Amino acid sequence: MNRLPLEIYNQITSYLTYNEKRKLLLVCRYWHNMIKNGNLFNNFAIKGHHKFKAAALFFENNISHRKQVRSLRLNNSEVGLDYVLNVPAHFPYIKDFVWTHYGAHQDETAINTHTKVIADYWNSLTSFGEVNRHLLSTEILKHGGFRSLTKLTVSFHFRGTSCSSLVQQLANAPQLTHIEFAFPNMALVDLEQLHLNVPQLEILYLSGVVQEEDDSLEGHGLEVVRIADRLTTLRMRNMSSARGGFVLTNAWMSYMAAKYRRLERLTIDGAGMTRGRQDYFESRLKDIVAACPHLTTYKVNLFPMTSRIVSAMDSSQVKLKRVDLIDDTTEDQIQHLLYSRQCHSLETITMNNTQLAPDVLFNALEGFAKLKHVEIECRQRQSVSLDVVLQKLRCLETLKLSTWHIWLDKHAVHTIQTRLRSLVLEKSDIDTADGDVMAFLASTCPNLSKLSIQGQIQDSDKTVFRVEFPYHYFTSIKLDIFGNKYYRVSNQQQTRWYQFCGRKLLGSHQDNQAIPKDQPHVTIVYKGSANLKIGGTDIPNL
């Protein structure tokens, strides 16, 4: 590491957080000097008023360190408007700035006056986000201060705030390709104006939007001037009507079908979106997918996946790579996909709250020839044989199972070789009475590099749960075994014991020290691991 050129060293450490870099400062004097004088403050976040005051004083007295800052986040810092407006001047190389302000209402006249003077400083930013009562971004745009901006994230803080004034100024950001709005009131005319002002938009996230009604559009909808031919990603979450309730209105869905013809990723979801399903949902979703032949990702919990929706995909030559079947996946939804053209292209399927019987579920999934990634969450715990699953789905690369009872089938063939690279068992019971689940994985999954287990072990006859992969290199191992106090960790060079109380680390000991060997414990063996986490604690490499 010490022999690396400075540019490569700084590039590697730039992916670390500020707190992670602070730990590296303690390694040696050489690393301390390299990081502190290189990119210690590259990605910097300040939360709270007292921390902000300390940071402001530090940067005031250390001008050279200001040049390191590329990304800055001020959260609940009660920072004054003058300081915020001068952030790009204080930090000349900053590219990403996020400001969260929940304080008193600011003087709009003061913002307007100050912004005129310093607007040019903001032309270097490529990403800006704010949570605010009176939007600073509107004034900066008005005075031409976001000429290089590519991403804008705005939370309107209080429901009932119109986004019209901000939308009107978006044409002043000619490089803008990514917009995220949360909790505004928005009419269809605002959405159309947004696209007219930002024709180059590629990504649009709308969350908690209140869809305002426009009496002039009643009965005939909004005329689309031109399609959004650059938009590839659309996400709408927790959309609601001005009359109340979570819903995506008929007018909005009709507009989407007419406007969005180049979508590749479509997401319409939210906690309340499944309530009060409307008769027009299926027809409008059919129209939307029929208009999007380039669609590859479909994550919609507004309405179940029906034969009409799937047929519309087939007719428009859609080739889905990912589908999320949300809220009580039924056998019919899987069968609709299985007997369509989508079964030849799907690589990722996720489900939650499913109540399907395991044999029905995994027999159906076996029909998707290119399936590589599967995530399944049960509404109620069900029992599944892990070896049978991997035997049926031999092309799997990632598997995540939540709320399952995991075991091995004595009669299954254990000589298979899988392509599995990542396995996550979440809120699951692992039953080792009929076979060693971890030993099976070690022998049949030679490419496994990520392992995460959260749950409890069910085998009263054994005191040791063995997570032993002596020939595997891992990028990540995460273990959270409920009720277990002791973990024995070995990388074949040295061994160390760790004692926990719940998820809290109490201490660690050398292997030759007095440890109650007859106590139930987990033994972990691996050849190498970039990251090991037990409970909520990061364990240093041995």
User: What's the CA gap between 112 and 115, in Å, rounded?
Assistant: 5
Residue 110 has pLDDT above 60, yes or no: no
Tell me if 143 is assigned to some domain.
no
- Give residues with Cβ within 8 angstroms of 381, minimum separation 6: 403, 404, 405, 429
Say which CATH number the domain at 30 has: 1.20.1280
Last residue of a domain, one of 455, 476, 499: 455
- H or E stretch including 34? helix 29-36
Say which CATH number the domain at 162 has: 3.80.10.10
What is this structure's pTM?
0.87
Q: Which of 33-42, 348-357, 487-496 has the lowest mean pLDDT?
A: 33-42
User: What's the CA gap between 313 and 287, in Å, rounded?
Assistant: 10
**Looking at the structure, do residues 407 and 537 belong to the same domain, yes or no?**
no
Look at the chain and report how many structural domains it folds into.
4
Tell me if 69 is assigned to some domain.
no
- DSSP H stretches of helix in 242-279: 250-259
| DSSP letters for 484-526 | --EEEEE-SS-EEEEEEETTEEEEEEETTS---TTS-EEEEEE
Tell me if 60 is assigned to some domain.
no
User: What's the CA gap between 246 and 249, in Å, rounded?
Assistant: 10
**Looking at the structure, do residues 164 and 260 belong to the same domain, yes or no?**
yes
Nearest of 140, 62, 133, 146 to residue 104 by alpha carbon: 133
Q: What is the pLDDT of residues 50-77, one digit of tens each?
A: 888 888 888 888 888 888 888 999 887 6
**Looking at the structure, do residues 494 and 427 belong to the same domain, yes or no?**
no
Q: Is 518 exposed, middle or buried (CB count within 10 Å of its CB: 0-12, 13-18, 19+)?
A: exposed
Strands (E), 434-494: 450-458, 464-474, 476-481, 486-490
**Looking at the structure, do residues 156 and 259 belong to the same domain, yes or no?**
yes
User: What's the CA gap between 244 and 275, in Å, rounded?
Assistant: 12
**Looking at the structure, do residues 394 and 313 belong to the same domain, yes or no?**
no
CB contact at 8 A, 495 and 524? no
Last residue of a domain, one of 425, 455, 485: 455
Find the domain containing 32 and state its range. 1-40
Nearest of 317, 288, 318, 291 to residue 300 by alpha carbon: 288
Task: Report, as an integer, the average pLDDT of 472-484.
Answer: 92
SS3 529: strand
Residue 398 has pLDDT above 80, yes or no: yes
**Looking at the structure, do residues 352 and 487 belong to the same domain, yes or no?**
no
Tell me if 103 is assigned to some domain.
no
User: What's the CA gap between 170 and 67, in Å, rounded?
Assistant: 29
User: What's the CA gap between 378 and 358, in Å, rounded?
Assistant: 10
**Looking at the structure, do residues 312 and 240 belong to the same domain, yes or no?**
yes
Residue 36 has pLDDT above 90, yes or no: no
Tell me if 201 is assigned to some domain.
yes
| CA-to-CA dists, residue 314 to 234, 304, 342, 370, angstroms | 21, 17, 7, 17
Label residue 95 by pLDDT band (50, 70, 90). very high
CB contact at 8 A, 81 and 114? yes
Tell me if 101 is assigned to some domain.
no
Per-position b or e across 326-348, b if 16+ CB within 10 A of its CB: beebeeebbebbbebbbbebbbb
**Looking at the structure, do residues 408 and 470 belong to the same domain, yes or no?**
no
**Looking at the structure, do residues 295 and 392 belong to the same domain, yes or no?**
no
Q: What is the pLDDT of residues 350-390, one digit of tens each?
A: 998 888 889 999 999 999 999 999 999 998 899 999 999 99
Q: What is the pLDDT of residues 144-167, one digit of tens each?
A: 889 999 999 999 876 678 999 999
Last residue of a domain, one of 422, 455, 488: 455
User: What's the CA gap between 96 and 146, in Å, rounded?
Assistant: 12
User: What's the CA gap between 384 and 381, in Å, rounded?
Assistant: 10
**Looking at the structure, do residues 310 and 363 belong to the same domain, yes or no?**
no
**Looking at the structure, do residues 354 and 496 belong to the same domain, yes or no?**
no
User: What's the CA gap between 18 and 353, in Å, rounded?
Assistant: 38
User: What's the CA gap between 234 and 38, in Å, rounded?
Assistant: 38
User: What's the CA gap between 390 and 448, in Å, rounded?
Assistant: 13
**Looking at the structure, do residues 448 and 482 belong to the same domain, yes or no?**
no
Label residue 512 by pLDDT band (50, 70, 90). low
Q: Is 118 exposed, middle or buried (CB count within 10 Å of its CB: 0-12, 13-18, 19+)?
A: middle
Residue 12 has pLDDT above 60, yes or no: yes
Tell me if 2 is assigned to some domain.
yes
Per-position b or e across 466-488, b if 16+ CB within 10 A of its CB: bbbbeebebeebbbbbeebbbbb
SS3 481: strand
Residue with tokens 């959405």: 191
Tell me if 21 is assigned to some domain.
yes
